[in-house]
Amino acid sequence: MNKLLALSTIAATILLSGCGKTTAFDFFSTDTYYEKSISNMQKASLMRDMETKALLHAVYLNNVDPAVYNGDEYFYVAVHIIEDAYDPKKHGLRNLDYNLRMEVDKSKNDIDDAAKQPEFDKDKVTPFSSKEDPSASKPALGSEKHNITHVDAIEITELDENDKLRRTMPVRNQWNHFYLVRFPANDSSQIRLIFENDRYGTAQLTFQKAK
């Protein structure tokens, strides 16, 4: 009788233990929202003399939840700055010594504007003259770099610890400041954020738009 009771107890323990592990594994493997957040997260750090001065994590929310985040470009941002201000109006992304901007290719806007022009009429084109230099209308080599500019965020909202978005994101440690950041819509297939400081340099975060 004792042996039977002991065997039953062991079998029950193994069964419960196995179920517990399976449940925990299934919980994380099926959490699509969390997995999407991880796959659309980039990290950047600014350093000096091998010492980290600022650390930033950003999640591209348009790829995570397009039903909610669309039109403009939305990011969940967690930032930790070593030499940060204690004033809430000046810490984190409000710190005047640091900038977080989005890179924009202005040439794409030029292409869109050109597409809106009246339809090409070959009968109104002046024949090319041999006295003209055909290369004059071509952009100089490397001039495409001048089409790149950086734009500021439209809106920056700091999130408190009870905010739903903050509770569902991968980065939740207590020494960061957390934000929902909105940039203007960008037609590029890639979104680049530039995190910079005059003393510690520049870091780039690149996100691929979902097709």
Residue of 105, 84, 83 lying closest to 94 (CA atoms): 84
Whether 13 shows a pLDDT value over 70: the answer reads: no
CB 103 within 8 A of CB 150: yes
> What number is the average pLDDT over the span 33-47?
94
Output the six-digit token pair for 34.
């969390």
Per residue in 116-165, pLDDT (tens digit) is 444 434 344 434 333 444 444 444 444 455 688 999 999 999 999 999 99
- Output the CA torsion 159→160→162→166 (10° steps): 40
Q: Do the beta carbons of residue 128 and residue 134 sit within 8 Å?
A: yes
Q: Which residues of 32-64 are buried (b: 16+ CB within 10 A; e: fewer)?
A: eebebbeebbbebebeeeeeebbbbbbbbbbbb
Instruction: Read off the pLDDT of residues 169-208 as tens digits, 9 standing for 90 and up.
Output: 988 788 899 999 999 999 999 999 999 999 999 999 999 9
Average pLDDT of 3-30? 41
Residue 60 CA to residue 181 CA, distance in Å, equals 10
The pLDDT value recorded for residue 87 is 87
Backbone conformation region of residue 111, classed left if phi is above 0, alpha if psi is from -120 to 50, else beta? alpha
Residue 46 has a pLDDT of 96
pTM higher than 0.95, yes or no? no
- Model confidence band, residue 108 (pLDDT cutoffs 50, 70, 90): low
Per-residue pLDDT, 145:
57
pLDDT: which is higher, 193 or 9: 193
Average pLDDT, the chain: 77
Return the pLDDT at 175.
87
pLDDT value for 12: 45
Tens digits of residue pLDDT in 83-97: 898 888 899 999 999
**CA atoms of 80 and 69, how far apart (whole Å):** 25
What pLDDT is recorded for position 146?
Answer: 64
* Whole-number percent of the chain with pLDDT over 90: 54
Contact, 104 vs 186, CB < 8 A?
yes
Length of the chain: 211
Phi first, then psi: what are they for 136, rounded to 5°?
A: -65, -30
Residue 37: per-residue pLDDT: 94
pLDDT at 178: 96
Q: What share of the chain is helix, strand, coil (3-state, %, to 5)?
A: 30, 30, 35
